[in-house]
Amino acid sequence: MYTLFLLTVSFLITLILMPIFIWGSRKFGFVDYPNFRKVHAKPIPYLGGVAILISMVIGIMIARPIEAEYKSIIIGGTIIVIVGIIDDKYDLKPLLKLIGQLLASSVPIYYGIVIDNITPFGVSIDFGMLTIPITLIWMIAIINAINIIDGLDGLATGVSVIALSSIGLITILQGNLFVMMICVILIGSCLGFLVYNFHPAKIFLGDNGAMLLGFVLAVVSLMGFKNITLISLFFPIIILAVPFIDMAFSALRRYRSKVSLFKADRSHMHHRLRNLGYSHMESVILIYFIALLYAGGSIILYLSTIPGSVIIVLLLIFTTEIVVEAIDLAESDRKPVLNFVRRFVHKIFS
């Protein structure tokens, strides 16, 4: 019941704040103007992340958690939102943006939220001096993965809600009520924002909001899966598979084309779906379904035995290859798995 209360409060706070931030964004010039790689046709306010941050902080203060780690989410989240606002307004150079992300990511590390060891097959492997670099890489990867998929109305927010729901459910099964509480509060904030962000959007996340969602997802995934075994190592990766896949193939395309990894393009997953003829809303809903598939897989994986887990992982890898080939995410003429599936289906029904 208390969980529902926190969800409702954070939802309502964001819902109330949105009209204020839409007005304030237009008043003070915090709007995203259309360009060659964006799909909106008119200037849209982009301070959605600030409203989500305020709602999340109020929700956490109402919940009054005894765990000190909540401070890292508030402090680091504030830093990443400030960096995002500056980037939205002045288009920071990639190095300066990365420095800001590293600064925000160092806050949870200060509070002891790190990847310090894994225990494959019961054997503990300590990372030692590599603990901080590995944790920073993990944090930066998720922050930028969520930022990259923020290309259609409601896309990054909806995918984040699905990921947070999966992490929250698994942490309930673990008995980790603190992480579950953070997930519930942010889900409420995101749902309130989605009312104004779903197509046609009245306000955007902006880099400030997309990086905030990525930051919190990175922190709760570390806290939720702190005792990492060989299998649990896959949980956050699978839960966040959609942004990770998009980011990985984006980097691959740019490497093949010999262009900067930081150069923006129109070849992301959502762009590919639009090129295939799907509407704005259809593309978003399709990616939601793909994200739900991975989220469901992660929960089944958590409940499975080791042999069952291996089967689930293999099925998810197979599904990933089909998705990549179907929307031509790798920009390759070779589609071996998709062709095999087509031949197999043809033989059955012919």
Question: What is the model's pLDDT at position 334?
Answer: 78
Q: How confident is the model at residue 265 (pLDDT cuts 50, 70, 90)?
A: low
Neighbours of 138 (CB within 10 A): 18
Higher model confidence: residue 37 or residue 140? 140
Judged against a pLDDT cut of 70, whether residue 233 lies above it is answered with no
Question: What is the model's pLDDT at position 22?
Answer: 93
Judged against a pLDDT cut of 90, whether residue 212 lies above it is answered with yes
Q: What value does the mean pLDDT take over residues 208-218?
A: 95
Q: Is the peptide bond before 133 cis (omega within 30 degrees of 0)?
A: no
Q: Which tens digit of pLDDT belongs to each residue from 34-63?
A: 665 555 557 889 899 999 999 999 999 999
Residues 6+ apart with CB under 8 A from 60: 70, 73, 74, 182, 185
Q: How far apart (Å, rounded) are the C-alpha atoms in residues 239 and 171?
A: 13
Judged against a pLDDT cut of 90, whether residue 312 lies above it is answered with no
Higher model confidence: residue 176 or residue 308? 176
Higher model confidence: residue 25 or residue 307? 25
> Which residue in this structure is represented by tokens 């395309």?
253
Q: How far apart (Å, rounded) are the C-alpha atoms in residues 294 and 290?
A: 7
Judged against a pLDDT cut of 70, whether residue 94 lies above it is answered with yes
Domains identified in the chain, total number: 1
Question: What is the model's pLDDT at position 36?
Answer: 55
Question: What is the model's pLDDT at position 234?
Answer: 66
Question: What is the model's pLDDT at position 232?
Answer: 58
Tokens of 65: 């958690």
For the chain, the residue count is 350
Q: How far apart (Å, rounded) are the C-alpha atoms in residues 78 and 74?
A: 6
Judged against a pLDDT cut of 70, whether residue 211 lies above it is answered with yes
Question: What is the model's pLDDT at position 76?
Answer: 97
Judged against a pLDDT cut of 80, whether residue 263 lies above it is answered with no
What value does the mean pLDDT of the chain take? 86
What is the pTM (predicted TM-score) of this model?
A: 0.90
Q: Which tens digit of pLDDT belongs to each residue from 97-137?
A: 999 999 999 999 999 998 877 665 566 677 788 889 999 99
Query: Angle at Cα 41 formed by Cα 210 and Cα 25, nearest 5°?
Result: 50
DSSP tally for the chain: helices H, then strands E: 14, 5
Query: Angle at Cα 64 formed by Cα 222 and Cα 141, nearest 5°?
Result: 20
Annotated binding site: 147, 207
Q: What value does the mean pLDDT take over residues 190-204?
A: 92
Annotated binding site for Mg(2+): 147, 207
Query: Domain of 175?
Result: 2-349
